Structure 1
Amino acid sequence: MFNKRLLLVGLSVLLLSKTAYSQEENSVPQGVLTLDQVVEYALIQSPIVRQAQIDEEIGDRNIKSNLADWYPQITASAAGAYNIKLQQQIIGDQLITFGQKYNSNVLLQADQTLFNRDQLFASKTSKYYRQQLQKVIENAKINAVVDVSKAFYSILLSEEQIKILDQNLGRLEKQYKDAYSRFEAGLVDKTDYQRASIALTNVKSDRNRVANSFEAKYDYLKQLMGYPDSLNFTIDFDIQGAAGEIAGNASDPLILENRVEYQLLQTQQTLNEIQTSYERWNYLPELSAYYRYNWNYFNSSFTDLYKGAYPISSVGVNLSIPIFQGGKRIHRVKAAELQVDRGVIEIENLSNQIKTEYTSALADYNSSVYEWQLIRENMVMAEEVYNIIKMQYDEGIKAYVELVVAETDLQNAQINHINAFYQVLENKLDLEKALGTIN
C-alpha cells in the first residue's frame, strides 16, 4: 500500500513538472521571429538585463535598510549571574553582606533617532541612488539591443550569402554541363569544362563554409537573448524596407543628455555634492530618545530566582556633540570637495569622448552608405556584363575563360554588395547608440 502511494506521488510530481515545463516553453516565441520579436524577448530574458534588474533590487533593499534607522529600534536582552563571592562591607562594628547569590535581569529598550547626519544623508541620496540603478538597467538594455541586433544581422548576412551562392551554383552547374557537352561534341577542348569544374568546386566550398557557421551564430544569438537551448527558431527580415530607410547623410544633432552614460555621471556628481554637505554636517550634534524597562531578579536560591521581580524603567534623550577630532573633519570635507572637482573634469572628459564617438560613428555610417551605393551600382553593372558575355559565349563569340571571369566578378560583386549593406546596418546601430536614440 505504501509503495502504491509513493508511486502515485512520484507520478503527480512528474506530471506537474512536465506541465510547468510545457507552459514555460509555450511562453517562449518559436517559429519565424522578426528582429523586433528577438529584441523584445532579449529585453526581458537577456542575462545582462536580468543581472542589472537583480542589482537594482539589491540596491533598493540596501536603500530601504539605511532608511529603516529612522524608525524606532526595539531590542530585548537578558542576563543571569551566579555570584561566587558577595560584596561585604564593615559598617560600625558589623560586617554587612550585600546582594544575593543569584541575580538576573531582562531589559526591553526602544530607541528613536531624532537627528542624525547619517540618516539625513541616506534620506537625501536615496532618490539619486535609485536613479542610478534605473540608468544601469537602461544601459544594459541598450547594450542588449545593439549586441542582439548585430548577432541577428550576422545570421541574416549568412542567409543572403547562401542565396547568392545557390544562384551561382545553379548557373555554374549548367555551364559545366554545357561545357562538357561541347567537349564531347568536339567543339571545344577539355579546358573549358575543367575551368567550369574548378569554379563549381570553389563555390561549393564557399557555400559549405557559410552553411557550417549557422549553428554557431544561432547559438551565440540565443546566448545573448537568454533563449532556451532546447528550442529553435529562424529569423525573418524585410531587407527592402530596411534599404529604403537608409539615409544618405545622417544629420541628427548630438544631445549629450540623451546618453545614459552622461546621465549616470551627472547623477554621480550630484551625489558627490551631497557627500560634501554630509561631511560638513559632521559638526552637527546627534540626538536620540530612548525608553527602557528592566526586570531585575535576586534570590539566594536558583529555584526561587524568578518568583519575584524588581522592575525599573526610564525614559530620556541622548545628545552627542563632536568637539575635536584632530582635524579629521576638515580633511574629510576637503577630500569631498576635491571629489566634486574631479567629477567636473570627468564630465568634461566624457563629453569629449561622446563627441568623438559620435563624429567617428557618423563618419563610418556616411562612408558605409556611400560605399554601399557604389557597390550596388557595380553589382548591377556586373550583372549586365555577365548577361552579355553569357549570350556571346552561347553564340560562340566569346571564349569560356571570359565567361568564367564575368561569373567570378558577378559573384564577388553580389557578395560585396550584401556585405556592404549589412555594414551599413551595423554602423547605423553604432550611430544610434552614439546619439543615445536607441529605443
Structure 2
Amino acid sequence: MKKRIYVSWLLVSWLFFLQAPHLVSAQEQAFSLPQAIQYALQNRPSLKTLRNQEQIDKARVGEVRATGLPQVNAGVEINNNFIQQKSIVDFSEFGGASQLNDFTITQQQLRSGQDIVLSPSYSAPDSVPGPQAITFVQPWTGAAALSASQLLFDGSYLIGLRAASTYTQLSKKNTQQGEIEVAEQVSKAYYSVLVAGEQIKLLDQNLRRLDTLLRQTIIMNQNGFVEKLDVDRLRVSYNNLKIDHDKAQRLLALSQQLLKFQMGFPQAQPILLTDQLNENSLATAKPMGNYAGFAYGNRIEYGILETQRDLALLNQRNIKAGYWPRLLLNANYGYNGVGRTFSRLLDVRAGANNTTTRNWFDFGVVGLSLQVPLFDGLRKSYQVQQSRIQLENVKLGFEQLQQAIDLELRQSDVTLENTLSVLRAQRQNLELAEEIARVSRIKYQQGVGSNLEVITAETDLRAAQTSYYSALYDALIAQVDADRATGALLLK
C-alpha cells in the first residue's frame, strides 16, 4: 500500500513537472503595438479617472436639469413656547369703556300676564382699565405642511441647459486627448523595449563570436603561434563586452517596467512583445511637405478650444439673461396645531370646519411669484465686460494654437527627414562594419592579419550596431511625433 502511494506521488510530481513550463508561460501575455495601445486605453488608471470625470459631468447636467422640475417638500415641527410672546392691547379702543347697568323685573309686571320688554342701558364705569399685556400663543404649537414650486420661466436656466450639454462635450474631448497622449507614451515605450532587446541579441552574438575567437587565440598561444599580449587584448575586449551586455539587460528590464506602467499592466506579470524591430514600420514614413491644406480640426486641442469658445459664448448669454424676469408657481397646504399641554397637542382633532372644538386647523395657498431685476449695482454689467474679454482671449488662443500647430508640423517633418537620412547612413555603416569585421577575422585565422586589427574591427562593429539601432529608434519616435502632429496617431 505504501509503495502504491509513493508511486502515485511520483507520477503526480512528474506530471506537474511537465506542465510547469506551460503554467509559467500561460502567465506571460503577448502584445503587438496596437494590442498594447488598446490594453492601455482600457486599463490605464489616468484614463479611468477621465472617464469617471465624464460620468461626473453627466450627473452635473442632470443636476442643472433638476432645477427646472417641480420641487416638493414636506415638513413637520412641534414647538414648546416656554416663554410665550406677549402683546400690549388697549381694550378701550374696542369699545370696552361702557358697562351694562342693572335692571329689575317687578312682581306686578309678572302678574300682569303681559310680555315684558327688557331695554338694557349702559353707563361709563367708575375706572377704565388701561393697556394690558396679553398673549395669543398657546404653550404648545405644531405644524405639518406640504409645499411645492415650479419654475415657469428663467432665461438663465434655459441657457444653463445648453451650457451643461456643451460641458459634457468638453469632458469627452478631454478624455480623447488623454487617450492620444497614452497612445504616444505606449508607442515610445514599446519601441524602447524592442531596441533594448535587439541590442542584447547583438551583444549575445558578439559575445559568442568573441568567445570563440578568444578560445582559438588561447590555443594558438599555447602552441606558440601568437603572443600572450594578443590573448590579453581579446580578454579585455571580452570583459568590456560582458559589462555592456549586463548594462543592456538592466536597461531592458527598466524599459519593460516603463512599458507596463504606461499600459497599466501589472509589474509582476511577465510581458512578451510580438512586433519585430525593423525598418518595415517606416515604409510609409515621409514628410508631409504641403501644409496649406491641413485641417486644424484634426487636432484634438483645436476641438477642445472650440468647445471652450462655445462655453464662453453661453456664459456671456447667461449673464445677460440675468436681466430677464423669473416666474414661479408656488403652492402650500398644511395644518397648524395648538395645545396647552404636549399631550393635548398630540390629541389631534382636525377638520375643514375649523370650529373651536378643533386643535389642528388646515390652511392652503397657491400663487405666482414674479421677480423682476431692477438694479444690482452694475454687477452684471461688469460680468458682461469680463466675459467679453474672456471670449477675446479664446479667440486669441485659436491664433496661437494655429501657429503652434504649423510650427509643430514643420518641426516633425524636419526631424523625420533628418532621422530617415541618418538611418540610411547608419545602415550603410553597419553593412560596411560587418564586412570589415568578417574580413578581419578571416585574415587573422589565416595568419595574415593582426589581433589588434580584429579587436578594432569588432569595436567598430559594436559602435555601428549601436548607432544603427539608435537611429532606427529615433526614426520610429519621429514617426510617432509626426502622427501626433497631424492628429492621426489613433487613426492608424
- Whether TM exceeds 0.5 here: the answer is yes
Larger displacement relative to structure 2 (200-209 or 173-182): 173-182
Q: Does 1:412 align with 2:463?
A: yes
Query: Which residue identity is paired with 2:252?
Result: F
Give the distance between the partners of 2:389 and 2:267, measured in 1 at CA: 51
Q: CA deviation at 1:246?
A: 4.3
Question: Greater helix percent: which structure?
Answer: 1
Is the Cα–Cα contact under 8 Å of residues 114 and 289 in structure 1 kept in the other structure?
Answer: yes
The normalised TM-score by structure 1 is 0.89
Aligned to 2:321: 281
* Distance change >3 Å, CA 159–CA 431, structure 1 → 2: same
Q: CA deviation at 1:248?
A: 4.3
Give the distance between the partners of 1:230 and 1:379, measured in 2 at CA: 37
Query: Which residue identity is paired with 1:343?
Result: V
Is the Cα–Cα contact under 8 Å of residues 86 and 100 in structure 1 kept in the other structure?
Answer: no
Give the distance between the partners of 2:266 and 2:34, measured in 1 at CA: 18
Give the distance between the partners of 1:99 and 1:185, measured in 2 at CA: 126
Is the Cα–Cα contact under 8 Å of residues 71 and 148 in structure 2 kept in the other structure?
Answer: yes
Aligned to 2:243: 205
* Distance change >3 Å, CA 246–CA 186, structure 1 → 2: farther
* Structure 2 runs not aligned, ≥5 long: 1-25, 97-128, 350-359
The normalised TM-score by structure 2 is 0.80
* Distance change >3 Å, CA 86–CA 324, structure 1 → 2: closer
Aligned to 1:91: 91
Give the distance between the partners of 1:187 and 1:223, measured in 2 at CA: 55
RMSD after superposition: 1.9
Aligned to 2:181: 143
Q: Does 1:69 align with 2:67?
A: yes
Aligned to 1:190: 228
Of residues 332, 351, 359, the one that matches 2:410 is: 359
Is the Cα–Cα contact under 8 Å of residues 182 and 188 in structure 1 kept in the other structure?
Answer: yes
Aligned to 1:126: 164
Give the distance between the partners of 2:417 and 2:299, measured in 1 at CA: 21
Q: CA deviation at 1:214?
A: 2.9
Is the Cα–Cα contact under 8 Å of residues 230 and 452 in structure 2 kept in the other structure?
Answer: yes
Aligned to 1:304: 344
Query: Which residue identity is paired with 1:261?
Result: E
Give the distance between the partners of 1:214 and 1:386, measured in 2 at CA: 27
Q: How many residues align?
A: 412
Is the Cα–Cα contact under 8 Å of residues 156 and 319 in structure 2 kept in the other structure?
Answer: no
Which SS does the other structure have where 2:150 is aligned? strand
Query: Which residue identity is paired with 1:43?
Result: L
Is the Cα–Cα contact under 8 Å of residues 221 and 227 in structure 2 kept in the other structure?
Answer: yes
Matches within 5 A, 1:332-343: 332-343=383-394
Is the Cα–Cα contact under 8 Å of residues 141 and 345 in structure 2 kept in the other structure?
Answer: yes
Of residues 166, 180, 198, the one that matches 1:160 is: 198
Give the distance between the partners of 2:220 and 2:48, measured in 1 at CA: 65
Give the distance between the partners of 1:161 and 1:241, measured in 2 at CA: 15
> Which consecutive segments of 4 or more residues in structure 1 shift more than 6 A?
none
Give the distance between the partners of 2:382 and 2:85, measured in 1 at CA: 52
Aligned to 2:473: 422
Give the distance between the partners of 2:420 and 2:262, measured in 1 at CA: 28
Which SS does the other structure have where 1:312 is aligned? strand
Q: CA deviation at 1:76?
A: 1.7
Q: Does 1:170 align with 2:170?
A: no
Give the distance between the partners of 1:97 and 1:138, measured in 2 at CA: 70
Aligned to 1:35: 33
Q: Does 1:321 align with 2:372?
A: yes
Give the distance between the partners of 2:453 and 2:268, measured in 1 at CA: 50
Aligned to 2:114: none
Q: CA deviation at 1:303?
A: 0.8
Aligned to 1:264: 304
Give the distance between the partners of 1:269 and 1:29, measured in 2 at CA: 49
Of residues 34, 43, 47, the one that matches 2:45 is: 47
Which SS does the other structure have where 2:373 is aligned? coil
Which SS does the other structure have where 1:292 is aligned? strand
